[in-house]
């Protein structure tokens, strides 16, 4: 049986971009594959975090995982810091990757440029190696992520191949599985930039956004020059982005959506889109608050999931140590 593994950093409130690009797809293979999902909280500390806030967001994220349909009886749900094997394998893999390879990671280049010398922490540089360790510990075949994680996945594969060549078959070579639509939801105010919580509030919609605010933000979203609802990423990037959001929440194909809106303008389309997003998000939110309220239950999920994960991870770590001569 193949293994599906993924996670999302608990470093900010989640947006509909995180949801449509990644999380929404995670439950699909539950029951058909070994499914493992985690909260990479040790990745979050590569930029400074408020400790109380980080803890809260870790619980939030576990609650969201359950909200979107992950069932702790069918999937392993773990928190990274509860399974020390991640950090230990990261240290080992650090010796199978070069400074040059890590310097070419675009996420590092972007972030370190934004943060300046003070923020250029070794942990931030090393982020992709910890990520490779996360994935390789569990023999993950498929890693469902958004488009922005593709390069990190390629590096994990390179490291795995290199290790296997040196010591014989040890790691499964992981593959990124990126959805055809929704993998890269763009900012509502600027369709050339990925939707991000760190940009202007008008550019993103949070999963926890209120109905009024969702309506306002969609109304204000930029559109393109003519008044037609047609998907054309190059020629009409803003409307195409809104169509992708519509498709993600309605589970309809782009051509079905285009047909529905033939002869209708942006105003009508945006009003319908807003109601769709409000309806779907308010359902999710109601479910989320119920689950989030029960922290004792969340602790149980985290502890038992992390214990199950540790068994798998420790076995892989033991094999790796044996191969390289570490006692």
Catalytic residues, by residue number, are 111, 194, 197
**Cβ closest to ligand TRP, residue 75 vs residue 223:** 75
Supply the DSSP string of 170-221, one letter for each residue.
-S---EEE--SSSTTPBPSS-TTSB--TTS-GGG--BTT--HHHHHHHHHHS
The count of residues in the chain is 327
Of 69-77, 131-139, 183-191, 235-243: span binding ligand TRP (CB under 6 A): 131-139
Least separation in angstroms between residue 86's CB and ligand TRP is 9
Which of 8, 44, 183, 205 binds ligand TRP (CB under 6 A)? It is: 8
- What value, to the nearest 5°, has the Cα angle with vertex 32 and ends 27 and 33? 85
> 168: number of CA atoms within 13 Å, CB side?
5
Coil, helix or strand for 22?
A: coil
Q: Order of strands across the sheet with 142-144? A: 75-79, 34-39, 3-7, 142-144, 175-177
Least separation in angstroms between residue 131's CB and ligand TRP is 4
Quick note: the x/- pattern for ligand TRP over 199-238, rule CB under 6 A, is ----------------------------------------
Q: Residues binding ligand TRP: what is the number (CB under 6 A)?
A: 12
Which of 9, 24, 82, 215 binds ligand TRP (CB under 6 A)? It is: 9
Structure tokens at 64: 């969201």
Q: Which residues, in sequence order, are CB contacts of 214 under 8 Å at separation 6+?
A: 205, 274, 277, 278, 281
Quick note: the x/- pattern for ligand TRP over 16-55, rule CB under 6 A, is ------------------------x--x------------
Quick note: the x/- pattern for ligand TRP over 235-274, rule CB under 6 A, is ----------------------------------------
Find the binding residues for ligand TRP in span 97-116 (CB under 6 A): none
Under rule CB under 6 A, residue 7 binds ligand TRP: yes
State how far the Cα of 230 lies from the Cα of 210, in Å rounded to an integer. Answer: 28
Find the binding residues for ligand TRP in span 143-202 (CB under 6 A): 143, 145, 149
**Cβ closest to ligand TRP, residue 79 vs residue 135:** 135
> 26: number of CA atoms within 13 Å, CB side?
30
State how far the Cα of 71 lies from the Cα of 75, in Å rounded to an integer. Answer: 6
**Cβ closest to ligand TRP, residue 6 vs residue 15:** 6
Cα distance from N-terminal residue to C-terminal residue, the chain: 31
**Cβ closest to ligand TRP, residue 53 vs residue 258:** 53
Name the residues that contact ligand TRP, by CB under 6 A.
Answer: 6-9, 40, 43, 131, 134-135, 143, 145, 149
């Amino acid at each position: 049986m193949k293994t599906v593994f993924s996670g999302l950093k608990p470093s900010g409130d989640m947006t509909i971009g995180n949801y449509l690009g990644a999380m929404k797809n995670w439950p699909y293979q539950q029951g058909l594959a070994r499914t493992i999902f985690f909260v990479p909280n040790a990745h979050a500390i590569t930029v400074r975090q408020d400790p109380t806030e980080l803890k809260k967001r870790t619980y939030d994220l576990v609650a969201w995982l359950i909200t979107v349909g992950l069932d702790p009886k069918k999937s392993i749900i773990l928190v990274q810091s509860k399974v020390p094997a991640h950090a230990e394998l990261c240290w080992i893999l650090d010796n199978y990757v070069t400074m040059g390879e890590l310097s070419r990671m675009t996420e590092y280049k972007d972030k370190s440029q934004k943060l300046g010398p003070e923020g250029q922490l070794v942990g931030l540089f090393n982020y992709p190696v910890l990520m490779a360790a996360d994935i390789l510990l569990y023999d993950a075949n498929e890693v469902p992520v958004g488009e922005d994680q593709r390069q990190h996945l390629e590096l994990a594969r390179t490291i795995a191949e290199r290790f296997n060549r040196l010591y014989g078959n040890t790691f499964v070579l992981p593959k990124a599985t990126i959805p055809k639509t929704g993998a890269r939801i763009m900012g509502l105010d600027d369709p050339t930039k990925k939707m991000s919580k760190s940009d202007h509030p008008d550019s993103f919609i949070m999963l926890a956004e209120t109905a009024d605010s969702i309506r306002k933000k969609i109304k204000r979203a930029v559109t393109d020059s003519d008044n037609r609802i047609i998907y054309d990423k190059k020629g009409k990037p803003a409307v195409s982005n809104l169509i992708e959001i519509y498709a993600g929440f309605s589970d309809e194909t782009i051509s079905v959506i285009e047909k529905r809106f033939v002869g209708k303008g942006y105003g009508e389309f945006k009003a319908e889109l807003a109601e769709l997003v409000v309806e779907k998000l308010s359902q999710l939110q109601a479910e989320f608050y119920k689950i989030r309220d029960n922290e004792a239950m969340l602790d149980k999920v985290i502890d038992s999931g992390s214990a199950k994960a540790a068994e798998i991870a420790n076995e892989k770590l033991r094999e790796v140590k044996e191969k390289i001569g570490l006692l």
